[in-house]
Amino acid sequence: MNLETIAAKMRHTLCDVSSQTKTPHLGSCLSCVDILATLYWRVLNIDPNMPNASDRDYFLLGKGHAASALYTALAYRGFFDIQALYEHGQTGSQFEEHPGINAPSGVETVSGSLGHALSLAAGMALSTKLQQKENRFYVLMGDGELNEGTVWEAAMFAAGKKLDNLVAIVDFNKLQGTGESCDIMHLEPLEEKWRAFGWHTIRINGHDLNSLQNAFEQAKQQSQPVCIVADTIKGKGVSFMENDNNWHYRIPKADEVDMAKKELGL
């Protein structure tokens, strides 16, 4: 399958799983599907048959409320059966609403409070460099997550240690749980902020698959940590969900899942 087809199938599965399991955060998941599809099918050095290979790349999910998007990417990539996704959020399931200690194969870290993933990745990236290993680390954060001071502490640390094996991706969909991100905190000009912290910064359309691939290739050529600011749309791919912050928590009905499937061309 090409990336467009993979992304469409992931979006439909996310809508269907949300509807059937009554789990929220669909809008936040849909905005990062293209980023995850690009990473898992074009960028990451991973093998579903050897999920703990010592030379693998690492993906850390900062915006843990989008866990179902990560689970869906892993399922389609072959880490486990797609039908297992329908256990999401159920009692005793590996597929918790935020990744926990019993998370399924392919999930590298638990997801605690927003803001922790970049610090974790920076420490892991430094350890790898000290051991002269070639692993690379990719962290996906939400724009609301940038409200947390730990993100900027990690940004200073990573630049100071010249962690050229670390890439941060900001899913800049402009909305968070309680409103518009730039009204809640003064985020813009976002790429200039990261650049001032010592990061090579790239700003792209986060739904343009070619731009995403080019950005990740460019990131590999840098001698400093890289931040990719990906302008995205919350609820991307389903017209009645796009830029509607009600879908941060709302669960789709069966007929809405059918409507989404038609819009996605499936």
The pLDDT score that the predictor gives to residue 34 is 98
Return the axis-axis angle of helices 3-21 and 67-77, rounded to nearest 10°: 130
SS3 (DSSP) at 243: coil
The pLDDT score that the predictor gives to residue 1 is 78
Direct distance between the N- and C-terminal alpha carbons of the chain, in angstroms, rounded to an integer: 13
CB atoms within 10 A of CB 54: 7
Contact present, 235 and 242 (Cβ < 8 Å): yes
The pLDDT score that the predictor gives to residue 68 is 97
CA–CA gap between residue 193 and residue 255 (Å, rounded): 43
pLDDT tens for the chain, 266 residues: list them. 799 999 999 999 999 999 999 999 999 999 999 999 999 999 999 999 999 999 999 999 999 999 999 999 999 999 999 999 999 988 889 999 899 999 999 999 998 789 999 999 999 999 999 999 999 999 999 999 999 999 999 999 999 999 999 999 999 999 998 889 999 999 999 999 999 999 999 999 999 999 999 999 999 999 999 999 999 999 999 999 999 999 999 999 999 999 999 999 99
Q: Closest by alpha carbon to 85, among 181, 144, 9?
A: 9
Q: What own/partner pairs with CB < 8 Å and gap ≥ 24 does 210-214 have?
A: 212/34, 212/35, 212/38, 213/38, 213/42, 213/43
SS3 (DSSP) at 209: helix
Entry pTM = 0.97
- DSSP-H helix ranges across 161-208: 181-184, 190-196
The gap from C-alpha 19 to its chain's centroid, in whole angstroms, comes to 21
Contact present, 219 and 167 (Cβ < 8 Å): yes
73: domain CATH number is 3.40.50.970
Q: What is the DSSP string of 40-69?
A: IIII----TTSTT-TT--EEEESSGGGHHH
Contact present, 10 and 21 (Cβ < 8 Å): no
Bond prior to 104 in cis (omega within 30° of 0) = no
The pLDDT score that the predictor gives to residue 221 is 98
Token output for 99: 């990744």
Contact present, 215 and 202 (Cβ < 8 Å): yes
Q: Based on the structure, what is the number of domains in the chain?
A: 1
Structural domain of 154? 3-263
Token output for 143: 């724009």
Contact present, 80 and 74 (Cβ < 8 Å): yes
